[in-house]
Amino acid sequence: MTYIGIDVSKDTFVVAYSPKKTCRTRTFKNTTKGIHEFIQTISKDGHHCVLEATGNYSALLVYLLSEAGITTSLENPLKVKNFARVMLSTVKTDEVDARLIALYGEKMNPAPYKLHSDAILTLKQKRTVIRQLRKQLIATKNLKGSMEVLPFFDSKCRKSIKQTIAFLERQIKHLEEDLSVLARREYKKQMELLTSIKGIGITLAAALIMATGGFTYFDNAKQLTRYLGLSPTYQQSGTSVNLKGHINRNGDSSLRSQLYVAAFASLRCNAQCKACYDRLRSNGKPGKVAVIAVANKLVRQAFAVVTQEKPYVDGYVSTLKSAPTSSESGKG
């Protein structure tokens, strides 16, 4: 298997067919035609493409490679960056980056990427648009507030701002309704299981489904909490350095914020989450640390009900013995 490194930008992508410095590189346009031209130069049996996750810039390339049956890995840019440091790479050009990614593939043997279903892609698009519209709504409301304190506020400007706010609110409401309907239709069983957990509503349940591809991307709850950035970090070296406590903050910051808010809500209605919070607080842990531990517990509850296909029962205690995670025990 030959690993091919691909460095993607908005308009083009550079391909390294080998990590060797003497290896040729080629630049293709980041369009459907350009991607098909690249696909003609490789085979699905002998090549494994590796590229960094660059948001929308890499989406079409990954989609068409997967449709062509070519094994593709979509890697976290931070992993490739750390790999470059290990390799003492000091030169940064598109060609060098492509060769480095090819070398990363050879050395690290990354797992193949699982292409999102059409339903997941649609849900993610709606969520992205909703998020951007919310930012515009906040900015417009802030603009209205800043204009209202002026000695004179032009009536046409006031009317335009009010109409814009009303329009954005309508669009957000309609898209949220569409998202909810689509999530309930495509992932009916999972939505029912997730919303059976006290503290998880429709919006958060849909967000968890989007982040996990319908709970198909992760083998266990610990992997999911690490992906969401809810796992504590540790730094230890001899006896001089022993730092611990803060979460890694990887993954989707918006989803992590939703989980943090849901953790607060769960303290009023979820017996296990309330018990976890009270135990950590009684042990002297700060309130924020305890809430993050509760968010971690909500994720584990979500993973459990979906994988076991059983609705959540508040107060149920499993008969299976398992060691408590670091977040639940209060570490971090």
Per-residue confidence (pLDDT) for residue 325, from 0 to 100: 47
Per-residue confidence (pLDDT) for residue 10, from 0 to 100: 94
For 115, which DSSP code?
P
Contacting residues for 121 by C-beta, under 8 A, at least 6 apart: none
Across-strand partners of 6?
15, 51
Per-residue confidence (pLDDT) for residue 317, from 0 to 100: 60
CA–CA distance, 162 with 147 (Å, rounded to integer): 12
Per-residue confidence (pLDDT) for residue 231, from 0 to 100: 79
Other Cβ atoms less than 10 A from the Cβ of 317: the count is 8
Second CATH level (architecture) for the domain 2-108: 2-Layer Sandwich (3.30)
Q: What is the pLDDT along the chain (332 residues), one digit of tens a residue?
A: 899 999 999 999 999 999 888 888 999 999 999 999 999 999 989 999 999 988 789 989 999 999 999 999 999 888 899 999 999 888 889 999 999 999 999 999 999 988 878 888 899 899 999 999 999 999 999 999 999 999 999 999 999 999 999 999 999 999 999 999 999 999 999 999 999 999 999 999 999 999 888 998 888 899 888 888 887 766 566 665 555 556 666 778 889 999 999 999 999 999 999 999 999 999 999 999 999 999 999 999 999 999 999 999 987 665 444 445 444 444 43
Per-residue confidence (pLDDT) for residue 322, from 0 to 100: 44
**Around 195, how many Cα atoms within 13 Å sit in the side-chain half-sphere?**
15
CA–CA distance, 73 with 26 (Å, rounded to integer): 19
Give the β-pairing of 241-247 and 232-237.
Answer: antiparallel
CA proximity to 199, closest of 265, 255, 291, 256? 265
Q: What is the pTM of this model?
A: 0.73
Per-residue confidence (pLDDT) for residue 236, from 0 to 100: 61
Per-residue confidence (pLDDT) for residue 321, from 0 to 100: 44
Question: Hey, what's the torsion of the CAs at 113, 118, 119, 120, to 10 degrees?
Answer: 30
